[in-house]
A = this chain, B = another copy of it.
Amino acid sequence: MEMNHYNDPSIIDGCTVPERVSSRSRIAPSTVTAGGISFGPDGIVIIAGPCAVESREQLLVTAEAVKRSGGMMLRGGAFKPRTSPYKFQGLGEEGIRLLEEAREKTGLPIVTEVMDTRQVEFVSQHADMLQVGSRNMQNYTLLKEVGMQKKPVLLKRGMMATIEEFLMAAEYILNQGNEQVVLCERGIRTFETTTRNTLDISAVPVLKNLCHLPVIVDPSHGTGHRWMVPSMAKAAIAAGADGLILEVHHKPEEALCDGHQSIDPDELTGLMSDIRKIALAVGRYIVEPKTKA
């Protein structure tokens, strides 16, 4: 019943798929490995953690909770792109060091955002995966810079980027020699205002049809509401997503950033169990977390 991976990309007329990301250029979907965790066509990867690294305590408590709940990878922003210059801008390099400490303690690999070409080399030396955020999806010099690294990249779709532009942005990275790219749908901007963005779940089958890269979904930014995260997380997996990235905070009401869309550790535990059922229903499984070395 399900279309296979190479069904027919050409049925989406008018969308130019560049060569290196195209599903026509590979025999099978790609697997991307970050810190020992593999994103790909079989297992489903759950990345979780706070929007921003705020303090040592906040990060370590949340990281332990992610670990306990079954999350396989830790997210946390050290360099934060904030709409207002007067909002918390992140802890910078200190945040990266705290992420490393959390990895040390939990064994969870870490993914964190780079916003500037000048940060890329430093972050590459410390993180397991580099995130390029929505606002920088068409920051081409940044894409080229991460394309020159030997680290996997989590590329988030711009909030008003077409699928074609998203694939072109990924192509910039592959074209520099770095083929370790995971795509992330995180909601697009529409006229609707009850949700922060409109999570474009249909981007999952479209992207998986057109390209060979793994595709994950961010239901936290995609909805902007903590209580909607479970429904949309399940929808994403049912639609064929290869993973999720979730905002988790040990005290969402005190978060310096995006608390209203962060679930707490108990909710994460419950959600993991729900996700496991949906994964089974679509013939997949949840990746096992690494045991701490």
Contact = CB atoms under 8 A, between A and B. Distances in A.
Contacts of A280: 281
A27 interface: no
Given A1-B270, A230-B1, A160 B83 contact: no
B198 A138 contact: no
A118 B116 CA distance: 9
Interface residues of A, number: 82
A141 interface: yes
A31 interface: no
A114 to B, nearest CB: 10
A267 interface: yes
B162 A193 contact: yes
A188 interface: yes
Contacts of A206: 194-195, 228
A192 B228 contact: no
Contact of A267 (B1, B116, B273, B278): B1
Interface string A253-293: 00000000000000100110110011011100000000000
A245 interface: no
Interface string A230-241: 111011111110
B193 A14 contact: yes
B240 A238 contact: no
Contacts of A160: 158-160, 189, 191
Nearest to A18: B84
Contacts of A118: 117-118, 141
B18 A86 contact: yes
Contact of A83 (B138, B139, B190, B281): B138
Given A15-B194, A84-B168, A231-B238, 8 more contacts: A1-B267, A2-B230, A83-B138, A136-B139, A188-B191, A188-B198, A204-B231, A235-B236
13 contacts: A1-B230, A11-B225, A12-B194, A85-B172, A118-B141, A135-B140, A158-B160, A162-B194, A163-B192, A191-B191, A201-B232, A274-B282, A280-B281
